[in-house]
A and B are shown apart, each in its own frame.
Chain A
């Protein structure tokens, strides 16, 4: 690493960030210089250099200017040229074997592996690596892929790793500032570690009973780690509660703060949140069901035909009078039909033959005919004809009479003669 590269990679200011401290410690095993490691900004640039090779065909490679242009578009920092130079010097970028004379370079696959490891380290701290190692050791033991010596070495590494994490949590809990704890405690996942260690102890006891003691010591250490992290959390909650920081409140304090705090304090709690639009997710299966259940509405009932003329246009009184005149004419016609031109007729037989209720209707018509024309008269006898088996069981003999001469005289004198005219009209 050259002096200029050391300047670029930042030894001073940036190293004070949590990610810089993590990277500095992680790179130490492979570094020859204290300034070898950068921080998260340098990782962004190296990620851009790596991503610049996406879609590049096989052995074609990229020229340095192409890498710089692509990486710049992908968010690389202003130091992209020197970083490319450093990649070349480290062998991370190298010319194709078959075309060493060309100016293009290819990306070494180990670069991406290193990039992913450092990104994971920043995201999850050392706990991520510990969990990965725990899983791998568990799988190796369960599948019988490791010897007793290899298993013992793996357990020793795991024990040391858990011990270091527990010591670090203790250090933070007792000596670090609240801000330092906030920066460093990210990714602590002690409960998962304890659960995985317990699983590992079970499989170690089954595979190599002689190593049960070492596995149990690992469990004890994991529980110490859990207690240290719990102490860290308790301190965060206690001091965070005193600061009334929304990020650090326990549920009861959070509830009280949500009620008591002012608008600005409440807004500050959401500064780092990103809100999505509520997804307008349509339930397509519901659309299928809706179409399946679709029943077209039946034909609508036909509207009644509109009246030919406006019923209100006709005078209702005149209509009633016309109807009454027609009814009277019908009674006179009916009486004349019974009389058959005679002046008097016994209608009892016709009455009885009319059945029921025809007999009642006929009797009522005849008994009221004199109201239409008083020259007609229906006379009831005092007798009563009883015929239990007949259509009319009880009948009073009825006689219909007309005074024709008087009627003729009256018609001649009465020019209106409405009933008679109407009777003729109705007969026509």
Chain B
């Protein structure tokens, strides 16, 4: 497999396992293409952006899909539950059971059926949530590719869930 094929595979699939030699080639080619190779810790990799290089969803030049509020709240709940140590990086975090998820949805009085649907649907497709339909739920590989700025905002979202749930 050539480096270019590896990079193409990384572009096409969210997670790709790589050998050491493939990794070094892909790392160099990804850097040349303005991307960043992100290790997921289990021999798998995903493509991220260099620090500060991710497309800004607010930038009108990019067509990015805006998630409805309920999905954003479901993501914030997932971060709150799966990222207990906010001083650490969010990925891989900890796995959360369906009961854990249900509890925080109930604390926020979110519509359980639709919020769970968001975790199992759009958020999973976007690589933000991983796990089986009935749990355990985990943070997805896209979270591993967040840069420091994104992690800072995500931390704020997770902390807010804790405040609202405890209120």
Contact = CB atoms under 8 A, between A and B. Distances in A.
Interface stretch (A12-20, A27-35, A272-280, A347-355): A272-280
Contact of A290 (B2, B11, B65, B76): B76
Nearest to A69: B21
A284 B11 contact: no
B75 A282 contact: yes
A282 B65 CA distance: 8
B153 A280 contact: no
B101 to A, nearest CB: 16
B122 to A, nearest CB: 9
Contacts of B63: 278
B25 A288 contact: no
B66 interface: yes
B76 A282 contact: no
Given A290-B76, A291-B73, A285 B11 contact: no
Interface string B64-81: 111101001101100000
Main secondary structure of the interface of A (DSSP, over half): loop
A277 B157 contact: no
A272 B48 CA distance: 23
Nearest to B28: A51
Contacts of B8: 274
Interface stretch (B37-45, B51-59, B131-139): B51-59
B109 A280 contact: no
Contacts, number: 94
B161 A75 contact: no
- The range of chain A's interface size is 20 to 34
Contacts of A75: 2-3, 25
Given A274-B11, A279-B64, A284-B157, A291 B109 contact: no
A286 B57 CA distance: 10
B64 A281 contact: yes
27 contacts: A73-B20, A73-B24, A73-B25, A74-B24, A74-B28, A75-B3, A277-B11, A277-B12, A278-B63, A278-B64, A278-B65, A280-B64, A280-B65, A281-B62, A281-B64, A283-B57, A283-B66, A283-B67, A284-B150, A287-B73, A287-B76, A288-B156, A288-B160, A291-B72, A291-B157, A291-B160, A293-B69
Given A283-B58, A283-B66, A284-B157, 10 more contacts: A51-B24, A274-B33, A278-B65, A280-B142, A282-B67, A283-B57, A283-B64, A287-B75, A288-B160, A297-B109
